[in-house]
Amino acid sequence: MNDTRHAELARATSETDISIALTLDGEGRSDIQTGIGFFDHMLTALARHGGLDLTVHAKGDLHIDGHHTVEDIGIVLGQVLRQAVGDKRGIERFGHALVPLDEALCEAVVDLSGRPYLAWNVIFTREKIGEMDTELFEEFFRAFAMSAHIALHLTTKSGTNAHHIAESTFKAVARALRMAISRDPRAIGTIPSTKGVL
């Protein structure tokens, strides 16, 4: 078991150079530098509302577009989460949250199951928020879920403002993850599965 619940990882390709550090039992502190302003804002919210200490430093081929940078951050963040959680002994495993932001309401449900899956039912009202393509949010969460080996269901319940929809989605994921990675005082030292392994 990873008692420190901390992990760091660097990944460099011909398209991106990314380093991420994550502490699960943190204070919501963050140092986010992706080169995409709105994405920085979303990852900062993820850390704050997830109670995570998160550092993300990324350099990508933004002269092309943000796709490689956003997707690769999702890959590395998922890998770091999986490493930090360890064998999942003594955690809650499941988490869920409904988070409003003005007219927007988004739901996140997560299972640290070891089986990667993304169910994406988030609808945006425009193609861009700032300089970020809204279609990249699905790419980020898919890469994150696949690399973290988690099942993640995201649903827009209501909303018309794209900024609000995105932010409520990230905050809902943060709160659901916070619940799922929490230690269960009734299950200390046990794997939360009838199979005995996750």
What pLDDT is recorded for position 197? 86
What pLDDT is recorded for position 22? 98
Q: What is the pLDDT of residues 111-128, one digit of tens each?
A: 999 999 999 999 999 999
Cα torsion 26, 28, 29, 35: sign: positive
Q: What is the pLDDT of residues 74-110, one digit of tens each?
A: 999 999 999 999 999 999 999 999 999 999 999 999 9
The model carries a pTM of 0.96
Contact (CB, 8 A) for 132 and 165: no
